[in-house]
Amino acid sequence: MNGFDPDLVAVGPANNFVAGLRLRGNGAHMEVLRPSDGRAYGDLDSADIGQVDEAVSDAWQAYRKGDWAKAEPRHRIRVMRRWADLLESDAAALAPTEAAGSTRLFGEICSWDLGYAADCIRFFAEFADKTCGESVPTTPDKMGFTLLEPYGVIAAIAPWNLPIVMAIWKIAPAIAAGNSVVLKPSELTPFSIVRVAELAIGAGLPPGVFNVVQGYGASVGDRLCRHPLVAKVSFTGSTQTGRAIMAACAAEGPKPVTLELGGKSAQLVFSDAPDLAQTAATLARGITINSGQVCVAGSRLLAHEKVADELVDRISRIFSANRIGATWDERTTMGPIISERQLGQIDAIVGRALASGGSAVVGGTRAAAPLDGSYFSPTIIAGLASDAEAICDEIFGPVLTLQTFADEEEAFALANNNKYGLAAGVHTSDLSRALRATRALEAGTIWVNRYGRSNDYILPTGGYKQSGIGKDLGREAYLGSLRSKAALIQL
Ligand code: NAD
């Protein structure tokens, strides 16, 4: 996969998308920077509150008009399939736009993100004519049944770490179920999804069904949550923001929320792990993919005492072999941190870990890179107390902490000793142990002898504990885009 010249990528001045048209925002304007080299990429182009209200009102009118919500389900499926096809065939424009402004490597966007997003749209489209309510048992003089109906307008609020994929997780089930959507992307990665919305209209989605408003969370995002015509909010981002969103939805609703939040996922390696070389490679990738900026980053290594040294040695060597650089450089294996602010936070938490007695087995510092962007070296920190900040809190960078255990019971206790519960990895050759772990670990996803997502969209994703409420992906995400109505007919 060849790289590209980021200076040739143009994002245009108008990046709000309402009722099928690109619009300039009347709100705050700020330079958006490219994380790979810190140079200006485009203009944030925020909507003002009046424009947010107009977008919601247009979405509501599109819903009421019914060109989408009341269309024949097979028609919805055909349109969404066309949209998925367009998304894939537009890779030459979409992939550089996504890569230049985010932390995603161009090669990974081309080989994974776009195809994954397109298949996610196809997956959810297929529910449109296969999901129904049920008739219920009652007495012979009555007939009872349930209807599954769209909410109307769903607000989707997305993070920056995989801008297109994270937005599609929200949008695809909501639209397939007949809702209209108003999406607010992250202010750090506002551009690529506007192109995805245009492609949807090109595929035949009626204008007003998929809208994008740009801006900051505290203004645009908050208004979306509080708008009376927004019936549900689907959010992915930090736990702290999730709390604010839930409070806004409670204050102006209450209205339902889906919250996909932060994580601090444990990777448990037992002494019978199938192949330490392979396991080390899996662990290394689990914390360096997207430079550790994924919600399910496997950031806590829990290793059996017998294998810990060898494992850490192997992972350190893999870390050191990384080539850190720009997302558009085909030689890069690990890209930048999203912003100087986020880099500063990673640096500070690692600094405090080292000052409090931890030791950096490898890394531990900002990384020098060929360009003037924000980079952090892949890091392993050992020797921390189990209540240390770096072990308890999400870092959202390429930082792995090491803890060792003597037996299964201790391993499960260490893994569960955390406020988050998004995912966990278990590496063992013992099937019974794998199954015991699957039951015992308090997390929404358990991976055994692998770590990371597959194209199995039917598996729902979501968190236990402070990692969230509700699910993306799976049947649950589709059903979460519908509400059920009970009907009882006296015959
Ligand atoms: P963030 O919480 O800072 O922002 C997420 C989105 O919320 C952005 O669009 C932001 O503008 C908006 N926002 C901020 N304040 C708001 C408010 N008061 N009201 C409404 N909207 C508001 O998160 P981030 O830094 O963009 O993303 C990283 C976080 O996302 C990490 O914690 C990561 O674990 C989490 N994440 C979770 C999942 C998951 O599936 N569980 C997936 C990806 C990322």
The third-level CATH classification (topology) of the domain covering 6-261+468-490 is Aldehyde Dehydrogenase; Chain A, domain 1 (3.40.605)
Alpha carbon nearest to ligand 1 atom 40, residue: 260
Ordered alpha helix ranges (H), 219-268: 222-226, 239-252
Is 295 catalytic? The answer is: yes
Domain 266-456: state its class.
alpha beta
Q: What is the pLDDT of residues 6-42, one digit of tens each?
A: 999 999 889 999 999 999 999 999 999 999 999 999 9
Is 186 close to ligand 1, i.e. is its CB under 6 Å away? Answer: yes
Hey, where are the domains in the chain? Answer: 6-261+468-490, 266-456
Q: Give, for 380, the enclosing helix (H) or strand (E).
A: strand 379-382
Query: Can you give the pTM of this predicted structure?
Result: 0.97
Confidence class for position 449, pLDDT limits 50, 70, 90: very high
Which atom of ligand 1 lies closest to the CA of 248? 19
Q: Mean pLDDT over all residues of the chain?
A: 97
Confidence class for position 371, pLDDT limits 50, 70, 90: confident
Q: What is the pLDDT of residues 259-306, one digit of tens each?
A: 999 999 999 999 999 999 999 999 999 999 999 999 999 999 999 999
Which atom of ligand 1 lies closest to the CA of 468? 41
Looking at residue 161, its pLDDT comes to 98
Among residues 150, 70, 169, 129, the alpha carbon closest in space to that of 482 is found at: 150
Looking at residue 134, its pLDDT comes to 97
Q: Ligand 1 center to residue 241 CA distance, Å?
A: 6
In b/e form, how buried is each residue of 202-212, taking b as 16+ CB within 10 angstroms? ebebbbbbbbb
Looking at residue 1, its pLDDT comes to 60
Work out the average pLDDT over 43-56. 97
Is 220 close to ligand 1, i.e. is its CB under 6 Å away? Answer: no
In b/e form, how buried is each residue of 267-290, taking b as 16+ CB within 10 angstroms? bbbbeebeebeebbebbbebbbbb
Q: What is the pLDDT of residues 295-344, one digit of tens each?
A: 999 999 999 999 999 999 999 999 999 999 999 999 999 999 999 999 99
Is 218 close to ligand 1, i.e. is its CB under 6 Å away? Answer: yes
Looking at residue 240, its pLDDT comes to 98
Q: One of 54, 98, 198, 260 is an active-site residue; which one?
A: 260
Alpha carbon nearest to ligand 1 atom 20, residue: 221
Among residues 146, 122, 148, the alpha carbon closest in space to that of 134 is found at: 146
Work out the average pLDDT over 172-182. 98
Q: Ligand 1 center to residue 294 CA distance, Å?
A: 11
Is 159 close to ligand 1, i.e. is its CB under 6 Å away? Answer: yes
Question: Given a cut of 90, is residue 350 above it in pLDDT?
Answer: yes
More confident of the two residues 12 and 121:
121
Work out the average pLDDT over 199-209. 98
Is 398 close to ligand 1, i.e. is its CB under 6 Å away? Answer: no
